[in-house]
Structure 1
Amino acid sequence: MIDNHAERHTRPVACYVPVCSLCGGSSDEEGFVHHFDSPAEALDYVTADADGGWTLTPGGLLVCDTVHDTAHEDIHAAAGKRMSPCAMTVTWDNAPVGAFHA
């Protein structure tokens, strides 16, 4: 049965999602798109992990950690991050993070 009064059961909601400046992507590694109440919350969330996550450059580019190409990797490297092929291990210069090293 089609509800001809769908507007009674819905409402418009404004939210903010992070958007990669290079590829336009918004999802994380699992394909989930996080929604936030403000632009600041979106940026804080995706850049909060000091060991990885997205990179916000001094020039204002926001770069995701889900795409693995030269453009993305170069920006992460300039920020001092080296992404592993799976993006689950991030290594800061001279300090391995998230990986076991014997």
Structure 2
Amino acid sequence: MATRLVTCYVAVCDLCGGTGDIDGVIPHFDTPEEVVDCLTADDYAGWTLTPDGVLVCDGRTDAAHEDAHAAAGKRMGPDAMTITFTHA
């Protein structure tokens, strides 16, 4: 049986330790920079990299997470845009 050790990077929230679970799959990347770039690609991406370098997930709605997103300029909460994905 052939095997190979593969080293990869996954996002881990600096506040809660959560990982970047997307539809039950944790995205893996070749570099830490690719992780951050992918998960914080635009204002609508769920993850936030704060100005002081804290990586924050979108999996929690507690005050610490909401404050971190707000500090980075993202609106979270009931008045924020909600995107729902459906499977065809």
**Is it true that 1:68 corresponds to 2:61 in the alignment?**
yes
Residue among 46, 57, 77 paired with 1:53: 46
The structure in which a higher percent of residues are strand is 1
Letter in 2 for 1:18: A
Q: Which moved further from structure 2: 25-34 or 74-83? A: 25-34
Segments of structure 1 that go 5 or more residues without pairing to the other structure are 1-7, 92-96
Determine which structure has greater relative contact order: mean sequence separation of CA pairs < 8 Å that are 6+ residues apart, divided by chain length: 2
CA distance in 2: counterparts of 1:38 and 1:26, whole angstroms: 16
Runs (4+) off by over 3 Å: none
Segments of structure 2 that go 5 or more residues without pairing to the other structure are 84-88
Q: Cα distance 1:30–1:67, how it changes in 2: closer, same or farther (>3 A)?
A: farther
TM-score using structure 1 length? 0.69
CA distance in 1: counterparts of 2:20 and 2:45, whole angstroms: 15
RMSD over aligned Cα, in angstroms?
A: 2.1
TM-score using structure 2 length? 0.78
Q: Cα distance 1:52–1:83, how it changes in 2: closer, same or farther (>3 A)?
A: farther
**Is it true that 1:39 corresponds to 2:32 in the alignment?**
yes
In the other structure, the counterpart of 2:10 is: 17
Letter in 2 for 1:84: G
Aligned residues: 83
- Bigger radius of gyration, 1 or 2? 1
